[in-house]
Chains A and B, each alone.
Chain A
Amino acid sequence: MSEVGLTMGGHVPGITEESPFAIPSKKLVMWLFIISDAVTFGALLFAYGYVKNASPDWPGPFKFSPSIVNVMLMTFVLVSSSLTMLVATRAAKAGNKTSGIRWTFITVAGGIVFALLHIREWLGLIREGVRLFQNPWGSPMFGATFFAITGLHLTHVIGGVIALTVVALGYKRGRYNSDDIEVWSLYWHFVDLVWMFVVPMVYLLNISR
């Protein structure tokens, strides 16, 4: 091996190993972020289950209308935005830039609608007297756990809306390519999948009977 190769830790410059997973680094990084984030949400949901199980007076405040109806609507909007993101990725990968950007912005619009519905749900509960460490019904930890889990998810949705907007505008200007749209679509689908666990654990197991 040449002296240059030895000084660079044994690697010959210009020659790189093939990715073991046959995907670009940024996509692998997104996957690693997703699994670490999945564990974060998992830990929060387990902590929620722990506190709920240990509290004999855990409240069940969610009435069918407006709460559960609102949650069903939010689910519909978020899952539909995943579908529009799939269409955007498909168009971008096929080289149809205009369609890719349009469908990405439709996804962004879905995310904004979801966030607004989420805030409406929060305001409804706050009007009923739910605070971080107090509520009119029972265990004071209900508010803390509810706002922590749904708040973290809402933060992810808002972060996704910002990221998709930046990537779509960058894609339009030529700064980003279709791979970037695909990588951020993974994030958006992940946010959708987390909601599949938040709904039953936080809402449906606490309905008002």
Chain B
Amino acid sequence: MTTTGKVTSSLKTDMIVYGCILALSGLQVVLAYQHTQGTQLMVRMLAVAVIQAGLGVMYFMHLRDERRNLLLALIPATVFVLLMMNMIWSDSFRLLHMRPK
């Protein structure tokens, strides 16, 4: 379904991806009501969200049908910037544990 890329997905594939994304959303709710808390819960939630986003980008936005160099131009740079933002956590913990009384 791209302007120039070869269409490789069908409506049936889209329906399967749609069902998977909804099922993963349901899984997130189930995870939220389990006894796991804190960082472990957040990591699990984010892992599910990343899978959902990956399915959406590849199948709904049809990035997998485009040229590989478009994917390589967009995704690694975005992921790199988002990973670099993780530098804030040490200061966040400092604020939590070393806050002036």
Contact = CB atoms under 8 A, between A and B. Distances in A.
Interface of A: 20-24, 27, 31, 35, 38-39, 42-43, 46-47, 49-51, 53-56, 64, 68, 72, 75-76, 79-80, 82-83, 86-87, 89-90, 93, 179, 182, 186, 189-190, 192-193, 196-197, 199-201, 204-205, 207
Interface of B: 1-5, 11, 14-15, 18, 21-22, 25-26, 28-29, 31-33, 41-42, 45-46, 48-49, 52-53, 56-57, 60-61, 66-67, 69-70, 73-74, 77-78, 81-82, 85-86, 88-89, 91-93, 95-96, 99
Contacts of A197: 46, 49, 53
A53 B89 contact: yes
Given A21-B66, A199-B25, A35 B74 contact: yes
Given A46-B85, A204-B29, A204-B32, A93 B1 contact: yes
A190 B32 contact: no
B67 A21 contact: yes
Nearest first, the 7 A-B pairs at minimum CB distance are: A200-B45, A54-B95, A204-B32, A21-B70, A53-B92, A196-B52, A189-B60
A23 B70 contact: yes
B45 A21 contact: no
Nearest to B51: A196
Contacts of A207: 32-33
Nearest to A94: B1
Given A54-B95, A192-B60, 6 more contacts: A21-B69, A49-B92, A72-B26, A186-B61, A193-B52, A205-B45
Task: Tell me whether chain B's interface is mostly helix, strand or loop, or mixed.
Answer: helix
Contacts of B53: 193, 196-197
Contact of B3 (A27, A47, A76): A27
Contacts of A20: 69
B32 A86 contact: no
B89 to A, nearest CB: 7
